Chains A and B, each alone.
Chain A
Amino acid sequence: MTINIENEKKGAMTTTNVESSRRNFIFGSVAAAGLTVAPGMMLYQTANARSQSEKATSKVRWGMLVDTTKDVDWNKCVDACNNEHGLGNEHKSRDDQKTQYIRVVDVKNKGTGYSISLPVMCQHCEKPPCVDVCPTGASMKRPDGIVLVDRHRCIGCRYCMMACPYKARSFVHEVLSDQKENTPRGKGCVESCNMCVNRIDNGQEPACVEASDGAIIFGDLNNPESPISKILAKHGGKQIRADLKLNPGVHYQGI
């Protein structure tokens, strides 16, 4: 199926009006797979959990699986993200300059009229182009697969923003105050979704996962016994622009 990106909106977007019954009809099998996972299951695999005094290792690769067939309002995830990281405290920047970690993208097949919306955040590539191009080593990938910006080294050249095929990064254009203590952010640095690295190190799920009512599953892609790996093995998932061979850690169902 050819999917054309029709429009994309920041923050406050409207979800597409596909009735849930029709969704469930079309994606019956996938929706059922989601249900078996959702109720009461501990989605965060603690098998490979490390203590806080250990370094992150490549034994673990954190990833997310987004089920776009579920009838959830992705804005709830965006709001949870904004709240977690204290986004939205720019007052002088234009709307298109303001930081967003998650974009909600509407896609529509012009031929059939079929449309979906999906949250697009940093895809946490295995081979991230943003890391390749960074002149200072600020854009980095942790051994456990989380791609993030070391603001201590970021000089704000925005080369990584150019390199990212997912348009996942933002640049802070103004002096900020009242940041969250767990997410330092400031003028002149590029930033993006860091998979709530502070929460992960603390044994919690990312904020968007928590707010998604089970539509986003978080877990260890390296562990074949983790729920996310099991679902991917059984039902598959798609990576956006998989043709680029960056092997993103964020997978989607229903696109």
Chain B
Amino acid sequence: MWLHLNFNFGFNSSFVSKSLKKLPLTVAGLAFIAGINTVNANQDGLGPKITIPESSGESCILPSAEMRRQHPDLLKHDRIQTLREGVRAKADGGKLDGSLKQCVNCHAIKDASSKFVRIDNDQHFCVSCHKYAAVSIDCFQCHRDIPEGDGEFHALTNHKGINYSNIVPGTSSLTIKDMANIAPEVISDDN
């Protein structure tokens, strides 16, 4: 339908000015790109995939689906509470305190040589998803990207060393469609 419309546009525009002549080509180009995206988004299995680490079932302070959606807001809320108000409570009254330090300690990924991967590595827990979503985060310009010492692993990571892979069967993967469902709402609590 788009192409048909554009063709008519182009035909009519031969009677008008030069600047208008460029319009139909642009519109046609946009329609072409949009069309490809639509095709990919509508079909599972096409387009880039993202792999997420195997979970052992233990949940974070919220279920995984909510963590994917809400973690930016949780972190932002926590940073205001911690830094500006001095509240350093454990979020669940237990071992998790909801700080970025805690995130890093639990979600640290080790490479083949059993060293923690740093923020410049695509396997880093935060990077793997954020790179896929093309959302650049600057947390780690200041925050430490790997645990000090051995970290405080809990079952969110499977402790098997490398747990990201695009080729190993059994790792769960997200498609574009899945990602569209978990895109975080933008809520700002700046004050």
Contact = CB atoms under 8 A, between A and B. Distances in A.
Do A and B originate from a single complex?
Answer: yes
Interface of A: 51-56, 140, 142-144, 148, 150-152, 175-182, 184-189, 197, 201-202
Interface in B34-93: 79, 83-90
Interface of B: 79, 83-90, 101, 104-105, 118, 141-145, 147-148
A189 B142 CA distance: 9
B144 to A, nearest CB: 4
B144 A181 contact: yes
B143 A53 contact: no
22 contacts: A51-B89, A53-B87, A54-B87, A55-B87, A56-B86, A140-B84, A143-B86, A144-B86, A148-B83, A152-B79, A177-B145, A178-B144, A179-B143, A179-B144, A181-B105, A181-B143, A182-B101, A184-B144, A185-B142, A186-B141, A186-B142, A201-B86
Nearest to A149: B83
A19 B105 CA distance: 49
Contacts of B88: 52-53, 201-202
Contacts of A52: 87-90
Contacts of B83: 148, 150, 152
**A-B pairs, 4 with minimum CB distance:** A56-B86, A186-B142, A53-B89, A184-B142
Nearest to B105: A181
Interface-central residue, A143, A144, A179, by most chain B CB under 10 Å: A179
Dominant SS among interface residues on chain B:
loop
Contacts of B141: 175-176, 186-188
B164 to A, nearest CB: 22
Nearest to A151: B142
A179 B86 contact: no
Contacts of B105: 181
Contact of B84 (A51, A150, A202): A150
A55 B101 contact: no
Nearest to A184: B142
B117 to A, nearest CB: 13
A1 B71 CA distance: 58
Contacts of B101: 181-182
B87 A184 contact: no
A187 B90 CA distance: 29
A222 to B, nearest CB: 16
A221 B90 CA distance: 28
Given A152-B79, A181-B101, A181-B104, A142 B144 contact: no
A57 B38 CA distance: 55
A144 B87 CA distance: 12
Contact of A142 (B84, B89, B143): B84
Nearest to B141: A186
Given A150-B83, A176-B141, A184-B142, 13 more contacts: A52-B87, A55-B85, A55-B87, A56-B85, A144-B86, A148-B83, A152-B79, A177-B118, A180-B148, A181-B104, A181-B105, A182-B101, A187-B141
B137 to A, nearest CB: 13
Contacts of A181: 101, 104-105, 143-144, 147-148
A185 B84 CA distance: 16
Contacts of A201: 86, 88
Contacts of A186: 141-142
Contacts of B118: 177
B126 to A, nearest CB: 15
A190 to B, nearest CB: 12
